[in-house]
């Protein structure tokens, strides 16, 4: 059989190579380190963890990344088995000895009879005779390959920074204070004129908010990241530094909006949230990209009327990253629609995090192996963590109503807002409230996910058959 080529031996590429080889298909894994380094990697090991050594929560019942761990274990993940084998104590989290973990992944890949590792930089899009390829070159993709990807996908399709605005779970927004309305009731394509959630502020609240932004603790850019401020994407605290009124003339302008709860009083400033996923479970805070520390974001944004009890699916940030506009470029099996046989995996697809990157590598590997074996790729159900994350990347994405065509796809960790909602189960016929309700819903989502994931994967392969 012709090999599948995997470019990049990080979290996603190592997992993809493993899955392909375990399906009986030969793989060539191209990793540029140590021939060429990145700004963050320090070793030549495969699956190097460039920063924290944590895979985050391992709780598969009430945590979305814990659920993803469980699904990956069911799918025979190399990243999870090496992580489990090199665990270090970290409470409910799965943290690993980073060197032991990377050494274990490297040893397993090197020892696999169907995997060949080539230590070289792939300088551009792969040659046409590589008919099955996975690009998993990560947030620090080498510049010449990044350039080729930009040329192949269109200049606007590749981003080098993510300017992330926080995302809020809809069911934690107080709609007795906030209201639905598009500015000037404008109806865009497919819209209703009520596509935004608006949170009003009076003058006193606005001034206190601006001061909190100025005083809040920020994270610094790393030296190699530079300072990537560009028009339309300034962090809110930088806008606040430019003058007390700047935000009121920018993302917090109150024009064209009438508070349905109090129509006679004009808001002094308004924070808008825009629907972020097709399910309507997540809303992003429009124009609120920020370098404030995460705890500061939670503290300060909960002072916004209507967001007092907000739970955040993701907090804001601004980082060096490389990722493509996947919803417009990739089909549901992560394949570039303009070049069948070329797939993307890992953080470059617009997921965020070690585990998520590895999970997308796992899926891309299975899809590529299936094609090589003459089978149609089998997509995970949308109710699973695999499916929810895949759907964030390849579909289910909202284009804004009054800015048609505006790109708003941003990288994201797996979270419960990506799953089709469930009704909270009743206990002794009574509806649950507050935290009990949240936990019950999460348990219902994770139980459904694990059952559907098992059904998708089919019966486990018996040990002797796998020998
Ligand atoms: P990587 O793991 O980066 O793997 C990509 C591989 O491709 C690398 O080995 C690279 O050498 C290779 N490569 C690149 N270009 C080429 C080429 N042209 N030819 C051949 N090989 C190439 N996530 C977390 O969960 N926790 C964190 O603490 C965390 N910290 C981060 C800190 C930084 C500075 C960055 C940039 C990201 C961080 N992330 C973190 C995000 C992300 O989860 C990791 O970057 C993760 O490693 C992404 O996995 P990946 O497989 O997509 O990319």
Residue 180 has pLDDT above 80, yes or no: yes
Q: Please give the distance, rounded to the nearest whole angstrom, from the Cα atom of residue 114 to the centre of ligand 1.
A: 24
Within 8 A by CB and 6+ apart from 418, the residues are 64, 277, 279, 281, 282, 388, 389, 391, 392, 412
Q: Please give the distance, rounded to the nearest whole angstrom, from the Cα atom of residue 242 to the centre of ligand 1.
A: 34
Percent of the chain residues topping a pLDDT of 70: 93
Distances in whole angstroms, Cα of residue 124 to Cα of each of 128, 130, 152, 185, 266: 12, 13, 10, 47, 55
- Whether 30 lines ligand 1, by a CB cut-off of 6 Å, is yes
What ipTM, to 2 d.p.?
Answer: 0.99
pLDDT digits (tens, 9 = 90+) for 415-435: 999 999 998 888 888 888 888
Percent of the chain residues topping a pLDDT of 90: 75
Closest by CA position to 320, among listed 149, 165, 146, 139: 139
Angle, alpha carbons 141-143-146 (nearest 5°): 65
- Whether 290 lines ligand 1, by a CB cut-off of 6 Å, is no
Q: Please give the distance, rounded to the nearest whole angstrom, from the Cα atom of residue 49 to the centre of ligand 1.
A: 8
- Whether 414 lines ligand 1, by a CB cut-off of 6 Å, is no
Residue 400 has pLDDT above 60, yes or no: no
Q: Please give the distance, rounded to the nearest whole angstrom, from the Cα atom of residue 51 to the centre of ligand 1.
A: 10
| pTM score of the predicted model | 0.87
Q: Please give the distance, rounded to the nearest whole angstrom, from the Cα atom of residue 87 to the centre of ligand 1.
A: 20
Instruction: Count Cβ neighbours within 10 Å for each residue of 211-240 and write b for 16 or more, e otherwise.
Output: ebbeebeeeeeeeebeeeeeeeebbbbbbb
- Whether 33 lines ligand 1, by a CB cut-off of 6 Å, is yes
pLDDT band (50, 70, 90) for residue 276: confident
- Whether 346 lines ligand 1, by a CB cut-off of 6 Å, is yes
Does residue 169 sit in helix, strand or coil?
A: strand
Test site for ligand 1: of 347, 349, 350, most ligand atoms within 8 A of the Cβ: 347
Q: Please give the distance, rounded to the nearest whole angstrom, from the Cα atom of residue 274 to the centre of ligand 1.
A: 30
Q: What is the pLDDT of residue 189?
A: 63
Length of the chain: 467
- Whether 347 lines ligand 1, by a CB cut-off of 6 Å, is yes
Lowest mean pLDDT among 97-101, 427-431, 453-457: 427-431
pLDDT digits (tens, 9 = 90+) for 332-364: 999 999 999 999 999 999 999 999 999 999 999
pLDDT band (50, 70, 90) for residue 458: very high
- Whether 50 lines ligand 1, by a CB cut-off of 6 Å, is yes
Residue with tokens 């003459």: 374
- Whether 14 lines ligand 1, by a CB cut-off of 6 Å, is no
The arithmetic mean of pLDDT across residues 137-162, rounded, is 89
- Residue 144 alpha carbon, nearest atom of ligand 1: 18
């Amino acid at each position: 059989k012709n090999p599948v080529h995997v470019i990049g031996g990080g979290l996603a590429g190592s997992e993809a190579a493993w899955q392909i080889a375990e399906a009986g298909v030969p793989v060539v894994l191209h990793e540029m380190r140590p021939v060429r380094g990145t700004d963050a990697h320090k070793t030549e090991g495969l699956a190097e963890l460039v920063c924290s050594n944590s895979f985050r929560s391992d709780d598969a019942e009430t945590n979305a990344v814990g659920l993803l761990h469980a699904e990956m274990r069911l799918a025979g993940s190399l990243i999870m088995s090496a992580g489990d084998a090199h665990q270090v104590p970290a409470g409910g989290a799965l943290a690993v000895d980073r060197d032991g973990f990377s050494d274990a992944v490297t040893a397993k890949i090197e020892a696999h009879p169907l995997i060949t590792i080539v230590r070289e930089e792939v300088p551009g899009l792969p040659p046409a005779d590589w008919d099955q390829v996975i690009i998993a070159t990560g947030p620090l993709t080498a510049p010449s390959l990044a350039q080729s990807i930009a040329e192949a996908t269109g200049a606007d399709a590749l981003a080098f920074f993510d300017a992330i605005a926080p995302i809020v779970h809809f069911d934690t927004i107080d709609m007795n204070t906030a209201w639905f309305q598009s500015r000037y009731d404008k109806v865009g394509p497919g819209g209703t004129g009520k596509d935004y959630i608006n949170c009003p502020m009076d003058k006193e609240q606005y001034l206190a908010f601006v001061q909190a932004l100025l005083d809040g603790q920020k994270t610094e850019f790393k030296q190699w990241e530079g300072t990537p401020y560009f028009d339309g994407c300034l962090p809110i605290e930088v806008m606040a530094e430019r003058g007390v009124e700047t935000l009121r003339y920018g993302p917090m302008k109150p024009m064209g909006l009438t508070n349905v709860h109090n129509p006679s009083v004009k808001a002094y400033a308004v924070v808008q949230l825009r629907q972020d996923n097709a399910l309507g479970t997540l809303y992003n805070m429009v124009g609120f990209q920020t370098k404030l520390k995460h705890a500061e974001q939670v503290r300060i944004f909960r002072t916004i009327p209507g967001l007092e009890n907000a739970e955040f699916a993701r907090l804001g940030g601004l980082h060096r990253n490389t990722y493509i506009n996947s919803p417009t470029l990739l089909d549901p099996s992560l394949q570039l629609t303009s070049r069948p046989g070329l797939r993307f995996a890992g953080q470059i697809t617009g997921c965020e995090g070690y585990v998520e990157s590895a999970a997308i590598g796992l899926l891309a590997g299975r899809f590529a192996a299936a094609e090589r074996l003459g089978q149609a790729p089998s997509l995970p159900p949308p109710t699973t963590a695999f499916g929810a994350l895949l759907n964030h990347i390849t579909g289910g994405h909202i284009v804004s109503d009054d800015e048609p065509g505006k790109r708003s796809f941003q990288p994201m960790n797996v979270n419960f807002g990506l799953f089709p909602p469930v009704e909270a189960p009743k206990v002794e016929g009574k509806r649950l409230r507050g935290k009990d309700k949240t936990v019950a819903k999460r348990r219902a989502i994770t139980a459904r996910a694990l059952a559907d994931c098992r059904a998708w994967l089919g019966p486990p392969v018996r040990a002797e058959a796998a020998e």
